[in-house]
Amino acid sequence: MTLQITNVSKTYPNGVEALKNVTLTIPNGMYGLLGPNGAGKSTLMRTLATLQQPDTGSIYLDEINVLTQQQEVRQTLGYLPQEFGLYPNAKAEDLLDYFAVLKGITTRAARKEVVEALLKQTNLWEKRRQKLGSFSGGMKQRFGVAVALLGNPKLLIVDEPTAGLDPAERVRFLNLLSALGENSVVILSTHIVEDVSELCTRMAIINKGQILQEAEPLKAVEQL
């Protein structure tokens, strides 16, 4: 799979130019989008997740037109937004099962299998009967990944997932992402240099809506 973003621009009604002619070619594997607060990362991530439209430009996931074929994209998309609400009184296992229903996994047996596999993969199997309100920040983020991975997405978008995590949780979370394999496009947005240098095979630096540099992580970070 290749995600091709070409000349994407977005100006908000208040005049903020959040994205200026963004062009990126993103292959399979872990791709880092590094930039400070306000750089335009969330705007780009929401656009890729078909939640908002740019003013100009085109985005293709292989031959799928992301901006017009939203149904097709959503079938193959996993998105972990920067801030996501969870139902604090729901148990992890029950809520994941519910999201699996929404994803169209209708048979109980199939859901049982998927939910168990994802809770094990995200190291939450032991916690499956706990309420989400009792989860730590890291556990919530790992649960968010489990939700995002329902339906085996070919495009996984995670927006600043390490922001509120303590160092141990951060390492655990990054290890989880790195184990996702090379068969899908995974885009990680972050303002933390180490997130990309430790994890990503390719990266871009974004600032004030513009791509400053696209490179292999170590080289780009050395030049900062």
Residues that bind ligand ADP (CB under 6 A): 12, 14, 16, 18, 35, 37-43, 82
Identity of the residue, 47 or 122, whose beta carbon is nearer to ligand ADP in the bound complex: 47
Give me the sheet containing 64-65, strands edge to edge: 17-27, 2-11, 56-61, 64-65
CA distance 96 to 143: 8
Residue 129 beta carbon to ligand ADP: minimum distance, rounded to whole angstroms = 33
Instruction: Find out whether 148 and 79 touch, Cβ atoms under 8 Å.
Output: yes
Token pair for 34: 């590094």
Residue 193 beta carbon to ligand ADP: minimum distance, rounded to whole angstroms = 15
Residue 224 beta carbon to ligand ADP: minimum distance, rounded to whole angstroms = 17
End-to-end CA, the chain? 30
Residue 106 beta carbon to ligand ADP: minimum distance, rounded to whole angstroms = 32
Token pair for 175: 């290890």
Identity of the residue, 21 or 28, whose beta carbon is nearer to ligand ADP in the bound complex: 21
Identity of the residue, 36 or 133, whose beta carbon is nearer to ligand ADP in the bound complex: 36
Sign of CA dihedral 34, 40, 41, 44: negative
Identity of the residue, 82 or 178, whose beta carbon is nearer to ligand ADP in the bound complex: 82
